[in-house]
Structure 1
């Protein structure tokens, strides 16, 4: 029997725990009833919450990879084949295989695949076309589409001029 702490903070005994690939981000715990003979059931717990309450069980989980949280940040430094964000403290190689996308700033719209990472540096599969710098923001996500072109929050020049002109005319009428 495996002792766990459930979502309510209760200590319980289960017969098996596993990462459930049918429900990404959840860990399944299998229980056998002590009251009803032969009755078995499973319960699912959010992965982060479960591992925080039960840090010792990670070694008992099968080799199914845990779901990795998406992340984003601002580049502190970059080289031909890496970017660094000193505000991060990632687990070693937790982002291997995940795309990194430069969403803003220098090097905007480039996408690469992470081949390894340490606590605050991401190493990529091929050189940057344009090296990101301190103006660059990045996103780590499997949901990044190829060839994304970010759209700013600024209206194109002609539309902005027309809008401002209309606002001025409206303001003059109300005076």
Structure 2
């Protein structure tokens, strides 16, 4: 499984249709005509991913008021995502990408440093997709803690 190149501002956002925590499907095209943050995280219910998801949860009302939706994507199975949503009262869709096809398309899977070692895995990444389906912001190797506040500052949201 080779890592794809990274997306840049102005690129067309790769389309996707994935299963959500409830077993339904969510597509990028469901958000056509509005902005959506698509963020990739390594694993549901781990400390860093929980902090990041709760940060999006706690800022969702303000993001929605600015016209921005949020979608989280991980390789977790829908059943685990459902537990994560219930445990932390998450209020936005979490999608399952077990084959990592969408992660590869966004450049969010590949080599990364983990505790000083080079490993292959999910690269914590966040994208703002504009209403026309283009990438308005692409951030790789983001920090779980404080990421949403930085994102809001960077994007003036």
TM-score by length of 2: 0.22
TM-score by length of 1: 0.21
The structure with the larger Rg is: 1
**Structure with more of its chain in helix, by fraction:** 2
Which protein, 1 or 2, shows the higher relative CO under an 8 Å CA cutoff with sep ≥ 6?
A: 2
